[in-house]
Amino acid sequence: MSVFSELRRLAEAPHNDYLAAAARAGRPVVGAFCTYVPEELVHAAGAVPYRMRAVGSSGTALGDTYFSSANCSFVRRVMDQGLRGAFDFLAGIVFMNGCDHNRRLFDNWRHANPATGFSHMLFVPHAGSPACLAQYRLELDKLARVLRERLGVEVTDDRLRASIALYDRRRRLLRELAGLRRAPEPPVTGTEFLALMLAVTAVPPEDAVELIERALEEARAGRAPAGTPKLRIFVTGSCLEELSHLELVESHGAVVVADAVCLGARTFDRDVGDAGDPMDALARRYLARVSCPRMMDDVKGRMAYTIDAVRAYAADAVILEKLEFCSMMSGENYIAGHELAKAGIPSLALTRELYGGEVGQLKTRIQAFYEKVGNRS
Amino acid sequence: MITAGVDVGTRYVKVCVVRDGRILGADVRELAGVFGDVVRASENAALDEAGLLGVQVRRKAVTGFGAAAAARLVRRAPHFLSREVPVLDEGVCAARAVTELVPGARTVIDAGALFVRSLALTPDGRITDRAVTEKCAAGSGRFLEMIAASLRVPQEEVSDVVATAANPYRMSNSCAVFAESEVISRVNLGVPGPDLLAGILVAIAEKALTLATRAEAAPPVVVVGGLGHMPSFLRVLGDVLGQQVSVVPMDPQLAAAYGAALLAAEPVVARTRSRGA
């Protein structure tokens, strides 16, 4: 069986055999809500970091008891899943102040108190200045203390260095696989890559490395699942976990060749390295890698990253994704649309609900956009 | 004492003429055409059924989305004795009707045309908490009407059609307008109509679940409002809530008007001055 089929299976369920095996071996699983939560730190505390997701969600009926319909569908669906017991395998969750919706998710989670162990909020500064870096470093120390108190494992420098080395390896392998998508016939579609990202952030990193190596092996063997795409697409956004949505984007002969999303470049951009104090290095990497729109001092950096990546991956167009009611992506997409236009890169801003069913409208807009881009060349 | 309750909803006007808790006459009619004409026609029809004249009605109360407008109307053309017409909250009226007919009910789910409302009651019928759907039509009877019309299923056949659904479709939109587009997309993708309609009932029932959970509602659950006419909705609601639900033992659409008529006879309400002018 192709490893990509296995990855798809792992991507489509909130829990999997790897996590069950880790639990049997006595390793707790700790959820993390954002790419600004250093997985290395959680791993060094003896736990398996697990990227929180709404995969498998069937609705928001219980989530809506805490949120209104003007909240983003990610938090409403995750809350719903939590209240239904989908995350009862967790020993704790590290929340992050990514946006107001996420902050309220933390408040509501503590109030509802589902059986998901401890809840900790990692406060990440909204900029990358030296003062912010120092503050973030203090927050990481606090997280390490919380993990020690909750899991009983001291995060020593040696343990942290070992975890950093493992995660750097995972990042290098992911970058290598992502790099293969530069080829005229990409060996991995955007949907397959997203499935891989969902899978490798839901299994112990040791298993993740093995899965990525198998994927790389298959990719290097000359597979070309979509042949030569008619259009090469770059995708930006924040929360994007619906395989069906990327399948829609990749219909009509287009293939996603690169991205700047949470379950993508933001996860594997830039290594931590092994120089100096590991906690300092960790803090530096997380505030220096390709940023998220929540970071207020790096708009230019994000625009430059997108334009460089569009050129490096020979992308024909950019799709700017956002979830309904995401104010950060609204502002970001407005700026990005203008900046991309100045660079001569066509873009389409798509707004959707997570696992929403607006297939007809989205399909029409995507088809019209592809037709417009196709007519340019 | 003879009292009347007028419930001016977003889709229907309901009037109940009551003496000592017993319904003497009632009318339900669609709110289409000139507002004042429809409300007066409904009142007259209920009075005719009761065999009464307007002057015989000692007190009256109005409720519903259009209650304030109806109260103004009555003050301008007073064919009832009292010119002071209290405007009452729909939830309070529905709860009053339920406590009259189902003593001991702890939760009232009022599933009407525009709103779904959940009321938590104490064992002696006082409201302790309540939750109402938000600004839009999703999760309401009108939502069901829109989708049924899109699928060309007459309203009176919806319940039977839903009973044939093999695999209810899960709606992913919380907005009725987008949901209608979603339904059209799904029709084009070959999802059977009964499955889509059943999905709408599940969506409405899940709204009710959200509201009931928010209001920390307890069993037994009693349903009022137009959707109470639909056996399929009651079945789906019971499944979603995970408990038995019953419908109020009267025309569920009339419940709020009946509750308003009961409250009109009560001293506290009788002293209430009309508002909303």
- CB within 8 Å: B185 and A61: no
Distance from A363 to chain B by nearest Cα, in Å? Answer: 10
- CB within 8 Å: B188 and A360: yes
E runs forming strands in A60-100: 92-96
**What is the phi-psi region of residue B126: left when phi exceeds 0, alpha when psi lies from -120 to 50, beta otherwise?**
beta
CATH number, domain of B46, equals 3.30.420.40
When CB atoms are compared, the residue of A65, A359, A361 closest to B210 is A65
Q: What is the arithmetic mean of pLDDT over A191-217? A: 97
Poorest-pLDDT segment among A78-82, A232-236, B136-140: B136-140
| pLDDT score at B19 | 96
**Adjacent-strand bridge partners of B120:** B107, B129
In which element (H, E) is residue A10 found? helix A3-11
For residues B86 and B24, membership in a common domain is answered with: yes
Residue B122 CA from chain centroid, whole number = 21
Distance from B122 to chain A by nearest Cα, in Å? Answer: 21
For residues B243 and B265, membership in a common domain is answered with: no
Cβ contacts of B181 on chain A, cutoff 8 Å? 358, 360-361
User: Confidence class of residue A59 from pLDDT cuts 50, 70 and 90?
Assistant: confident
**The pLDDT of residue B179 is above 80:** no
The ipTM value here is 0.70
| pLDDT score at A231 | 95
For residues B86 and B149, membership in a common domain is answered with: no
Three-class SS of residue A367? helix
The DSSP symbol for A98 reads S
Edge-to-edge strand order for the sheet containing A317-323? A254-260, A231-236, A317-323, A347-352
CB A195 within 8 A of CB A262: no
In which element (H, E) is residue A320 found? strand A317-323
Distance from B188 to chain A by nearest Cα, in Å? Answer: 9
The DSSP symbol for B273 reads P
Q: Please check whether residue B241 touches A, CB under 8 A.
A: no
For residues B228 and B115, membership in a common domain is answered with: yes
Residue A319 CA from chain centroid, whole number = 17
Q: What is the arithmetic mean of pLDDT over A258-285? A: 94
**The pLDDT of residue A153 is above 60:** yes
For residues B54 and B161, membership in a common domain is answered with: no
Distance from A308 to chain B by nearest Cα, in Å? Answer: 36
Distance from B103 to chain A by nearest Cα, in Å? Answer: 27
Cα-based distances in Å from A129 to A36, A141, A233, A358: 16, 18, 33, 41
When CB atoms are compared, the residue of B134, B170, B181 closest to A360 is B181
Burial class (CB in 10 A: 0-12, 13-18, 19+), A25: exposed
Q: Residue type at A316?
A: D
When CB atoms are compared, the residue of A58, A355, A359 closest to B185 is A359
Within a 10 A sphere around the Cβ of B276, how many other Cβ atoms?
Answer: 13
**The pLDDT of residue B146 is above 90:** no
Rounded to an integer, what distance in angstroms lies between the CA atom of residue B36 and that of residue A317?
A: 58
Best of A66, A325, A359, A362 to disrupt the B interface (most B CBs within 10 Å) is: A359
Best of A244, A247, A358 to disrupt the B interface (most B CBs within 10 Å) is: A358
For residues B235 and B115, membership in a common domain is answered with: yes
| Its pTM surpasses 0.90 | no
Cβ contacts of B213 on chain A, cutoff 8 Å? 61-62, 65
Positive/negative CA dihedral, B152, B156, B160, B163: positive
Distance from A354 to chain B by nearest Cα, in Å? Answer: 9
Q: What is the arithmetic mean of pLDDT over A110-132? A: 96
Positive/negative CA dihedral, A247, A252, A256, A261: negative
| pLDDT score at B277 | 33
Long-range contacts of A333-340 (CB under 8 A, 24+ apart): A333/A236, A335/A299, A335/A303, A336/A236, A336/A302, A336/A303, A336/A306, A339/A303, A339/A306, A339/A307, A340/A306, A340/A307, A340/A310
Edge-to-edge strand order for the sheet containing B127-132? B127-132, B116-121, B107-111, B221-224, B245-247
Q: What is the arithmetic mean of pLDDT over A17-25? A: 96
Residue B215 lies inside a defined structural domain of this protein: yes
Poorest-pLDDT segment among A152-166, B96-110, B202-216, B241-255: B202-216
What are the structural domains, with CATH classification, of chain A?
A: 3-158 (3.40.50.11890), 182-376 (3.40.50.11900)
**Closest Cα partner for B72 from B108, B30, B36?**
B36
- Nearest chain B residue to A77 by CA: give it: B172
Residue B277 lies inside a defined structural domain of this protein: no
For chain B, the domain total comes to: 2
Cβ contacts of B171 on chain A, cutoff 8 Å? 357
Burial profile A112-142: b = 16 or more Cβ within 10 angstroms, e = fewer = eebebbbbbbbebbeebeeebbebbbebbee
CB B269 within 8 A of CB B110: no
Q: Please check whether residue B201 touches A, CB under 8 A.
A: no
Q: How many CA atoms lie within 13 A of A1 on its CB side?
A: 8
For residues B113 and B164, membership in a common domain is answered with: yes
A184: CB partners within 8 A, 6+ apart:
A228
Distance from A63 to chain B by nearest Cα, in Å? Answer: 8
- CB within 8 Å: A359 and B189: yes
Cβ contacts of B135 on chain A, cutoff 8 Å? 69
For residues B118 and B204, membership in a common domain is answered with: yes
Cβ contacts of B133 on chain A, cutoff 8 Å? none
Q: How many CA atoms lie within 13 A of B37 on its CB side?
A: 3
Rounded to an integer, what distance in angstroms lies between the CA atom of residue B205 and that of residue B273?
A: 37
CB A359 within 8 A of CB A81: no
Q: Please check whether residue B209 touches A, CB under 8 A.
A: yes
User: Confidence class of residue B133 from pLDDT cuts 50, 70 and 90?
Assistant: confident
Mean predicted lDDT score pLDDT of chain A: 95
For residues B113 and B243, membership in a common domain is answered with: yes
Q: Between B135 and A143, whose confidence is greater?
A: A143
**The pLDDT of residue B275 is above 50:** no
Instruction: Tell me the count of A-B CB pairs closer than 8 A.
Output: 58
- CB within 8 Å: A68 and B172: no
**The pLDDT of residue A376 is above 50:** yes
Residue B96 lies inside a defined structural domain of this protein: no
Residue B275 lies inside a defined structural domain of this protein: no
**The pLDDT of residue B186 is above 90:** no
**Closest Cα partner for A19 from A150, A161, A140, A199?**
A199
User: Confidence class of residue B135 from pLDDT cuts 50, 70 and 90?
Assistant: low
For residues B243 and B263, membership in a common domain is answered with: no
Best of B109, B174, B189, B240 to disrupt the A interface (most A CBs within 10 Å) is: B174
Q: Residue type at A292?
A: C
Mean predicted lDDT score pLDDT of chain B: 87
Q: B68 lies in which domain range?
A: 2-91+254-270
| pLDDT score at B180 | 78
Cβ contacts of B199 on chain A, cutoff 8 Å? none
Torsion of CA B92, B96, B99, B102, to 10 degrees: -110
**The pLDDT of residue B138 is above 70:** no
- CB within 8 Å: A357 and B185: yes
Best of A60, A62, A64 to disrupt the B interface (most B CBs within 10 Å) is: A64
Model pLDDT for residues B32-89, shown as the tens digit of each residue: 989 989 998 999 999 999 999 988 998 889 999 898 888 887 666 555 545 578 899 9
Residue B198 lies inside a defined structural domain of this protein: yes
A125: CB partners within 8 A, 6+ apart:
A132, A133, A135, A136, A287
Q: Please check whether residue B109 touches A, CB under 8 A.
A: no
Best of B116, B182, B210, B211 to disrupt the A interface (most A CBs within 10 Å) is: B210
Q: Please check whether residue B182 touches A, CB under 8 A.
A: yes
| pLDDT score at A357 | 75
Poorest-pLDDT segment among A147-151, A172-176, B155-159: B155-159
| pLDDT score at B270 | 59
CA end-to-end span of chain A, whole Å?
Answer: 39
- CB within 8 Å: A357 and B210: no
Rounded to an integer, what distance in angstroms lies between the CA atom of residue B159 and that of residue B226?
A: 13
**What is the phi-psi region of residue A369: left when phi exceeds 0, alpha when psi lies from -120 to 50, beta otherwise?**
alpha
Q: Please check whether residue B235 touches A, CB under 8 A.
A: no
CB A320 within 8 A of CB A237: yes
CB B208 within 8 A of CB B118: yes
- CB within 8 Å: A358 and B182: yes
